[in-house]
Structure 1
Amino acid sequence: MEEEVEKEPLGVRLKYYTTLTLGTTACLSSFVFMFLIPWILDPSISTLMANFDPEPVVCMTVQSDQRRGIKNCSWSSCKQGCTVDQYECDQIYVNYMHLPFDKYDASNFDNEDNLWVGVGVPVFVNIKACGYPPTINCSIFGDMHGRENGIFPCYYSRVDANMVITQYDWNTEVSNIIIALLVPNILCGLSLGIVSYWWYPGCQKRRCQYQIPPDQEDVSSNQQDGDDDDEDDDEDDENDEGEGYDKDSTGRRQEGDMKNKKQEEEKDRDTSIYLPEE
Structure 2
Amino acid sequence: MLDRSGRRSLLSNAPADARAAGYRYFANLLALRARKLPRDVVGERVESTFRDLCRELEPTVSLEIGAHEARFSRWIKADVPTARAIAFEANPHVHEKYAESHADSGVEYLHLAISQTDGPVELGIPREFHNEAKGRRYKKPRTNRMASIASHVLAEEVETVTVPSTPLDSFLEVSDDDVVVAWIDVEGASGPVLSSGAKVLSRASLVYIEVESEPLWDGQWLDDDVARFFGDCGLVPVLRDNQRPHQYNVVFASAELAAQPRMARLCNAIYRRAGASAQTARKPGKRS
For the aligned pair, the TM-score class normalised by the smaller chain equals under 0.3
**If the length of structure 1 is used for normalisation, what is the TM-score?**
0.19
* Greater percentage in helix: 1
* Greater percentage in strand: 2
Considering Cα pairs closer than 8 Å and 6+ residues apart, tell me whether 1 or 2 has the greater RCO. 1
